[in-house]
Amino acid sequence: MVVERRKPMEIGEGVKRVLAHPLELQAEELNIEDVLDRVLAEPIIADHDVPPFNRSPYDGFALRAEDTVKASTETPVHLEVIEEIGAGQVAKSHLRQGQAIRIMTGAAIPEGADAVSMFEVVKEYEKDSKPMIEVGRKFRPGQNIAQQGEDTGKGTVLIEKGTRIKPGVTAILATFGYKTIKVYRKPKIGIYATGTELLDIDEPLQPGKIRNSNAYMISAQIRKMGGEPLYLGKLADDFEACFEAVSAVLNDVDALVTTGGVSVGDYDYLPAIYEKLGANTLFNKIAMRPGSVTTVAEHQGKLLFGLSGNPSACFVGGELFLRPFIKQAVESTPFLAKIKAVLAKDFPKPNPFTRLVRGKIEYTTEGVRVAPTGLDKSSSVTSIAEADTFIVLPGGTRGFKTGDEVEVLLLDNESDLNPWEK
Ligand code: AMP
Ligand code: MG
């Protein structure tokens, strides 16, 4: 058998090719209770002014600034308190010369009033059993009044479409009466795990066999990226069976992920399956470790992600290529955020390919440090469990030393900056 030679592609170029196949997603309308973590498919617009009316920011007395023009500590003015209103109430009377209304925070400013005095600056007393206040200072018209629309004017776009709905966004939705909201449908991503060696979770171990961890890992990754994973089962390494299974499901998903079978081994059938489908291969080798065999092909507008069977390689392939694909369809921040950190451990072995080492970040008062987690092998399952970053070590002829500044991709932080563009 002639082993096919594959030309490695830079990670950034691979990501670019994936992004050139955007997913068009429909919107669906959901109740406000069901939209947490979903992505807005419509901008949120203020349907009224905030505040919706002039209101009092304090507990105090609404009055006419005009009545206080001559007021001072020596020559206070005296106003009759004709009514009392709390938040949610509207005054019955129109304020006239010499009058004030006792008002609570949040209540609408009564007609005729144009300023509010806090309790602390007036003296309350009674005259002929009528409540009165003595005001010993001047007020400007508009003083201590929260003006209608000062926070937000009607018609303002408050939140752009493409924003993920967090609890704070929910408050805005409720403020403006959005009982139902248009959000993007989640991209439905089918998953097959290939490999005759694979056992289900609940099967006892047998000689030569291992449990299928990739399907569950990649499902969890997809869910976290905002997609809807659809686990379709595991497939033995049988060309016809795999071909049938892959072709049968393409119409039901937005994209398909397979794990395993993309190498050049005797039972790696994915490349031949892509060929028989007539799919167009975007790449079949990436200049990275782990996951250099990561393959992406396009067939009738659908992307087929052929991830490595090695757990670490599968994880890396998913984060680097599947993530921006799923996220760009709906969200304005499709990439892992990139920051700089200082290496806390030597990495002496040079590698011609960019290495994505699973690492754990530590924020110290002296700066950000990062150290690899567990075994740096593409087959390692444990190194992924502890990792919160990928340490990006550029390919070349030299190794890396403790204290070197390196770039890291944060697995739990997103950004609109493509980390592979300079
Ligand atoms: P492959 O990419 O099919 O050559 O598989 C590479 C390595 O990953 C082999 O050691 C497989 O046994 C292992 N592997 C493949 N699929 C899975 C899976 N779903 N879960 C865990 N390990 C796997
Ligand atoms: Mg295999």
E strands, 145-265, where?
157-159, 180-184, 188-194, 198-199, 210-211, 228-235, 255-259
How many angstroms separate the alpha carbon of residue 285 from the centre of ligand 1? 17
Taking CA atoms only, the protein residue closest to ligand 1 atom 23 is 309
Residue 2 has pLDDT above 60, yes or no: no
- Give the pLDDT mean for 95-102: 98
Q: All domains of the chain, ordered by start, with CATH?
A: 11-25+186-328 (3.40.980.10), 30-47+159-184 (3.90.105.10), 60-135 (2.170.190.11), 336-415 (2.40.340.10)
CA nearest 347: which of 377, 371, 367, 363?
371
Say if residues 283 and 228 touch (Cβ distance below 8 Å). no
Q: How far is CA 412 from CA 158, 179, 203, 383, 408, in A?
A: 26, 30, 33, 16, 12
Q: Which residues line ligand 1 (CB under 6 A)?
A: 193, 195, 197-198, 210, 212-215, 259-261, 263, 265, 268, 308-311, 379
Percent of the chain predicted with pLDDT > 90: 93
Of the pLDDT bands very low, low, confident and very high (cuts 50, 70, 90), residue 173 is very high
Average pLDDT over residues 37-66: 96
Stretch 313-342: mean pLDDT: 95
Q: Which atom of ligand 1 is nearest to the CA of 261?
A: 3
pTM, two decimals, is 0.88
pLDDT digits (tens, 9 = 90+) for 125-145: 999 999 999 999 999 999 999
pLDDT at 349 > cutoff 90: no
The count of residues in the chain is 422
Q: Which ligand is nearest to the CA of 264?
A: 1
Taking the centre of ligand 2 as the mean of its atom positions, its distance from the CA of residue 45, in whole angstroms, is: 51
* 205, 214, 284, best to mutate for ligand 1 pocket (most atoms within 8 Å of CB): 214
* Ligand having the closest approach to the CA of 306: 1
At 237-264, the pLDDT tens digits run 999 999 999 999 999 999 999 999 999 9
Nearest ligand by distance to the CA of 192: 1
Q: Over 80: is that where the pLDDT of 320 sits?
A: yes
Those residues whose C-beta lies under 8 Å from the C-beta of residue 19, and which sit 6 or more positions away, are 324, 325, 328
Distance 236 CA to ligand 2 centre (A): 9
Please tell me the predicted confidence (pLDDT) of residue 4: 63
Q: What is the pLDDT of residues 398-409, one digit of tens each?
A: 999 999 999 999
Per-residue model confidence (pLDDT) at position 422: 81
- Taking the centre of ligand 1 as the mean of its atom positions, its distance from the CA of residue 411, in whole angstroms, is 23
Nearest atom in ligand 1 to the alpha carbon of residue 262 is: 2
Q: Hey, which bits of 64-177 come out as E strands?
A: 77-85, 99-103, 115-118, 122-127, 130-135, 157-159
- pLDDT at position 1 over 50: no
Distance CA 169, CA 171 (A): 5
CA distance 83 to 312: 72
Query: Which of the ligands is closest to the CA of residue 292?
Result: 1
